[in-house]
Amino acid sequence: MADHSGERLLKHALLERLMHYYYYVGQRGEGSTPDTVASAEIARFLNMDDTLVRKDLAAIGVRGYPRVGFRTAEIVEAIRRVLGFNDSYRAVIIGAGRLGGALASYTDFTRLGLHIVAVFDNDPARYGSMVSGVAVQPMENLESVVAWRAVRLAILTVPAGPAQSIADRLVRAGVQAIWNFAPTALVTPPDTVVRHEHIAVGLAELSYHLKRRQNGPPEPRAGEG
Amino acid sequence: MADHSGERLLKHALLERLMHYYYYVGQRGEGSTPDTVASAEIARFLNMDDTLVRKDLAAIGVRGYPRVGFRTAEIVEAIRRVLGFNDSYRAVIIGAGRLGGALASYTDFTRLGLHIVAVFDNDPARYGSMVSGVAVQPMENLESVVAWRAVRLAILTVPAGPAQSIADRLVRAGVQAIWNFAPTALVTPPDTVVRHEHIAVGLAELSYHLKRRQNGPPEPRAGEG
DNA sequence: TAGATTGTTAATCGATTAACAATC
DNA sequence: TAGATTGTTAATCGATTAACAATC
């Protein structure tokens, strides 16, 4: 596969936009819609400028057709290639609580190349119980499973307290990336990719807007009372 | 409370940074650390420029003390005020599945001003079961609860299919903001605040970095094999 | 005081948008 | 062909950073 490895790192914001294109174009293609889409249509839906859509698609090697638009299949395939959805990764979940269970049963993961091969917990009452087709295992098995199954990603859904020490174990065991849902920052070596999913950040924005609405006449025109 | 309502809308990115300051400063204050903090310390932790920290704090009215730094209590209080954490909002959760349950029991919400007053589901088997101290109710009750308890925020943790029609009901019932965890876009009136929590976006970034690591010599220096 | 740290203006950088030529 | 849409360069805009004066 001629993947020119000299490509430079794509920016976070671009990756995020690509994901939005991916979902819009993918969902749109479900009916009997045309198999091409104009950059302006994507832009309208995502509330952005159409030039940026074209630039982004050009950046990942997708060429459009003047007068026609972009072939949806080419967009989808290019994004899958760039984001790595065509490759397959094994992952484990640490923490068989409600959030861990919810993530374990998120069916989209498989389509995105992610395969949950094990779920761990430190509560013996949970050992052996099935979470989305996988039996919950004790934490002692962590290192051996990571090594034997060449697990590259760990999804951390434990409380803040034990999160750091589990992260240390994961790194030592050879995990390359951690998706951290624990409400605490993790210290890891620079070559470990960590993404901290900070749920309260989303709430902050909603709270801010609710407050504005309550306090003043925030919008230019008053609207209904 | 002299809240000058002419303030202009703060940018999304700023709100996000404020939330990070809030967590860093709040957590830092737990021990017997000094009650002041330098912008450079915050910046170092968050891997950003200290000038930006000072700019951001100035933007929300926090003044530092030359040679001393910023008082942590002032930072925390200002962010709480700006983001609306000192006000109290009632919220409901639609969907008593694993994700709904996980969110219902997220204890930080209370400290951020959010109070879950009801959980709804369309599965009769779940009616009456307790989720974090609240009994699950049938969907029919949605409108009356929203109206009677003046609910302003709804947290949507249902499958993509019913999400839009539930959102329509919520808007008609008077909800002002929707926190959407359903994997689908929602169409709502412009004065309804919607935040779409797109879990797969996080995975996209991790997947991208895992792929890079696998394929090429991505980092400038090779490191250990 | 001297010096550490803030506050603010100016410079830089990067990202977005506008303009328009190229294309089928 | 005429015209719709892409592709790309140039202009604009905004956000970040650098520089340095102000302060206690």
Give the residue-averaged pLDDT of B121-141.
96
**Model's pTM, two decimal places?**
0.91
pLDDT(A185) > 50 = yes
Chain A: closest CA distance from residue B197 (Å): 8
- pLDDT for B6: 52
DSSP reduced 3-state for B42: helix
Angle at alpha carbon of residue A45, lines to A39 and A48, rounded to 5°: 70
How many angstroms separate the Cα of B44 from the Cα of each of B14, B40, B48?
17, 6, 6
Cβ within 7 A of any strand D atom: A 38-40, 50-51, 54-55, 57-58, 63-70; B 11, 13, 48-49, 51-52, 55, 65-67
- pLDDT for B156: 98
- pLDDT for A7: 66
- pLDDT for A117: 97
Which chain B residues touch A208 with a CB distance below 8 Å? 10, 15, 82-84
Chain B: closest CA distance from residue A208 (Å): 4
Residue B52's nearest nucleotide, by CA–C1', is D16
Give the residue-averaged pLDDT of B47-65.
96
pLDDT(A220) > 90 = no
Return the closest-CA partner of residue B180 out of B201, B155, B203, B215.
B155
pLDDT(B215) > 90 = no
Chain A: closest CA distance from residue B55 (Å): 19
pLDDT(A70) > 60 = yes
pLDDT(A221) > 80 = no
- pLDDT for A215: 66
Q: Where are the alpha helices (DSSP H) in B149-198?
A: 160-173
CA of B18, C1' of D21: distance in angstroms: 27
